[in-house]
């Protein structure tokens, strides 16, 4: 009887762990870029999903959604040479 009471008492906590973890905050930063510039399209490596790209606010670099066999994660968008593709931050001068 004691185990049954504990099970009923813990059931709400156990079931709350099954909630949607990707819901998170919807502040608009998770929206994908609808149309990439021609420059980004020209240098991006072909094996990346260019339909699901956004800019990481922490780094200013492009990231894309990679859907793997186990999990879905965001990876840096890279060139064919393996360099990350970043946007120019406002206020910075281009390096020549």
Residue 1 resides in a domain:
no
pTM (two decimals) = 0.60
Residue 18 resides in a domain:
no
**Percent of the chain with pLDDT strictly greater than 90:** 49
The CA-based diameter of the chain, rounded to the nearest angstrom, is 76
Q: Which residues pair with 73 in a beta bridge?
A: 66
Of 13-27, 42-56, 77-91, the least confident: 13-27
- Compute the distance between CA of residue 48 and CA of residue 53 in angstroms, rounded to an integer: 9
pLDDT grade for 23, boundaries at 50, 70 and 90: very low
The predicted pLDDT at position 93 comes to 47
- Compute the distance between CA of residue 50 and CA of residue 33 in angstroms, rounded to an integer: 9
Radius of gyration of the chain, Cα coordinates, nearest whole angstrom? 21
**Mean pLDDT score of the chain:** 79
pLDDT grade for 40, boundaries at 50, 70 and 90: very high
Residue 12 resides in a domain:
no
Residue 7 resides in a domain:
no
* Whether the predicted pLDDT of 50 surpasses 80: yes
Whether the Cβ atoms of residue 49 and residue 76 lie closer than 8 Å to each other: no
pLDDT grade for 82, boundaries at 50, 70 and 90: very high
Residue 48 resides in a domain:
yes
Residue 57 resides in a domain:
yes
Number of domains in the chain: 1
What residue numbers bound the domain in which 79 lies?
31-88
Residue 10 resides in a domain:
no
Residue 77 resides in a domain:
yes
């Amino acid at each position: 009887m004691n185990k049954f009471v504990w099970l009923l008492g813990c059931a709400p906590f156990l079931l709350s762990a099954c909630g949607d973890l990707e819901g998170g905050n919807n502040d608009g930063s998770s929206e994908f870029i609808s149309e990439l510039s021609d420059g980004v399209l020209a240098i991006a490596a072909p094996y990346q999903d260019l339909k699901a790209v956004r800019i990481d606010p922490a780094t200013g670099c492009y990231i894309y959604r990679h859907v793997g066999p186990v999990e879905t994660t965001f990876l840096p968008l890279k060139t064919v040479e393996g360099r990350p593709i970043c946007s120019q931050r406002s206020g910075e001068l281009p390096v020549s």
